[in-house]
Amino acid sequence: MKIKKLYQSTVYRDPEFFASFPAVTALPDGRLLAVFRRAPNYCRMPGIAEDNVLHLDYNSKLMGAYSADGGRTWSEPELLYAPPAGAAQDGGAFCDGKYVYVNSFVWGYIPERTAEALKEQGKDEYLIGRRPHPDWLTAVPYGSVMLRRELTQEKWEGPFFPEPLPDGSEVLPGRPRLMHNRANICRGIDGSLLWAGEYYSYRNGFHASCVLYRSIDDGRTFQYLATPAPDNGSGVYEEPFLYITPGGKYVMLIRCHQDDFTGEKYERAMLYITESSDQGKSWSRLKNTGIHAEPAAAYRLDGGECLLVYGYRNEPFGVRGRICDAELEDIRAAEEFIIRDDGGRIDTGYPWIAPLGGNRYFVIYYNNHIRHQGAGGVEGTVLEIVK
């Protein structure tokens, strides 16, 4: 197959804001919906370095924008979700023809005195702050969140949250721990709605697992289904993307920074996969594909092949992709192609895919350029795949 890059566009860029972690989905009326995280850009302020961007911020919100011309131009962003007790982070988007779903996850910010009290009590396992970045705020993971809208309606419903994790853990006294972090929503073979996610802790040493939840009521409630990637106390498995092959195999694409089985650590993440042949109930042992990806997303092409895209955080920074076999039997054998390689620094990537029709696909991502004084921007590339 031949890959053509038809054009690139800017979904959103404003020097006053740091926009990042986007997703995109195609709507039945021909429009695209892009969602992304937006927070103030502090890099223009005294004492803040030009490339010192923050991924945790009290003012982080989930925004949405629309395109009616194949991603060439975009509407001004609108607010989709601003948590009442925290901040929204990465975006996710999915449309099934009846509903459009957007998802994110929430950081809850707590007073420093509360953080100190948790540390004194030995209950700071889920507390992030002052690490790994001195300007990061004190926060705890409040969990994944989802909104939905009927395509015939204008009002969003929600927010909806998954049920608590089955281990009974709490991030704060009286606040159950939920699935958290960036992941996708999709329809399973049986028609249920599936939502991947992550749970983690910071003591003793950061470790993270990937989980899968299931809904039989179109997203009003989600129940725990499985843990496809258990960390076993030392692994770092993050930002899963669930993909279903034409043969009915469930494949979870995972960003891995530490393999719990081998103990190997990766400064820049590797793409791991795990597979299920029983619709997500049980999963194979994790496998390292040998591909650097931070993180990955996938979409099934008309011929059954899989378009795989991923952030690339080795120099030159950017976004790359591969066209893989239908069942993802040998991802590494697929030839890699470059979508973007002009990132100004490592803080770039996080792609997502939406179809445009006619073998064309819109790949969204965020791209940072130091000349923009730290203001990340959401951009996209239209690919045409010719056999």
| Residue type for position 124 | D
Q: How many CB atoms lie within 10 A of CB 66?
A: 16
Q: 65 lies in a domain?
A: no
- CA 68-298-26 angle, 5° bins: 20
Q: How many domains does the chain fold into? A: 1
Bridge partners (DSSP) of residue 331 are none
Structure tokens belonging to residue 89: 């982070």
Q: 48 lies in a domain?
A: no
Residue 36 CA to residue 92 CA, distance in Å, equals: 8
Cis amide bond preceding 77, omega within 30 = no
Q: 209 lies in a domain?
A: yes
- CA 205-232-54 angle, 5° bins: 40
Could you read off the pLDDT tens digit of each residue along the chain, which spans 387 residues? 899 999 999 999 998 899 999 999 999 999 999 999 999 988 777 877 766 677 888 899 999 999 999 999 999 999 999 999 899 999 999 999 999 999 999 999 988 899 899 999 989 999 986 554 555 668 999 999 999 999 999 999 999 999 999 999 999 999 999 999 999 999 999 999 999 999 999 888 899 999 999 999 999 999 999 999 999 999 999 999 999 999 999 999 999 999 999 999 999 999 999 999 999 999 999 999 999 999 999 999 999 999 999 999 999 999 999 999 999 999 999 999 999 999 988 899 999 999 999 999 999 999 988 666 666 899 999 999 998
Helix ranges restricted to H, the chain: 112-120
**Domain encompassing residue 133:** 92-358
Residues present in the chain in total:
387
Dihedral (CA of 44, 48, 49, 54) sign: negative
Q: What is the CATH number of the domain that holds 232?
A: 2.120.10.10
Q: 269 lies in a domain?
A: yes
Structure tokens belonging to residue 149: 């809208």
Q: 125 lies in a domain?
A: yes
The predicted model scores a pTM of 0.96
Question: Which among 23, 41, 33, 145 has a CA at the least distance from the CA of 78?
Answer: 33
| Residue type for position 75 | S
- Provide DSSP, 174-213: TEE---BSS--EEE-TTS-EEEEEEEEE-TTS-EEEEEEE
Category of 219 on φ-ψ map: left (φ > 0), alpha (ψ -120 to 50) or beta: left
Q: 312 lies in a domain?
A: yes
Question: Which among 81, 88, 59, 70 has a CA at the least distance from the CA of 24?
Answer: 70
- List, in order, residues 6 or more apart from 201 with CB less than 8 Å away: 125, 126, 207
- Provide DSSP, 109-129: E--HHHHHHHHHTT--TT-B-
Q: 68 lies in a domain?
A: no
- What digits encode the pLDDT tens for the residues 316-369? 999 999 999 999 999 999 999 999 999 988 899 999 999 999 999 999 999 988
Q: Is 235 helix (H, G, I), strand (E, B) or coil?
A: coil
Q: Is 366 helix (H, G, I), strand (E, B) or coil?
A: strand
Residue 66 CA to residue 309 CA, distance in Å, equals: 22
